[in-house]
Amino acid sequence: MHKFDMPETARQHVLQRRARLHAYERIDAAATALIVVDMQNYFMKSGMPACCDVARDIVPNVNRLADVLRRAGGAVVWIVTEALPGSKNDWPNFYELGDDHVRDARMEMLATGSDGYALWPAMERMEPDLTVTKTRYSAFIDGSSDLEARLRERAVDTVIIVGVATNVCCEATARDAMMRDFRTVMVSDANAANSDDEHAASLITFYLYFGDVQTTDQVVENLARSTGVGAAAQ
Residues annotated catalytic, as ranges: 38, 134, 169
Which amino acid is residue 50, in one-letter code?
Answer: A
| Cβ-based neighbour number of residue 102 at 10 Å | 13
What is d(CA 180, CA 12) in angstroms, rounded to the nearest whole number?
Answer: 27
What is d(CA 207, CA 35) in angstroms, rounded to the nearest whole number?
Answer: 18
- Exposure letters 104-132 (e unless 16+ CB within 10 A, then b): ebbbebbbeebebbebbeebeeeeebbeb
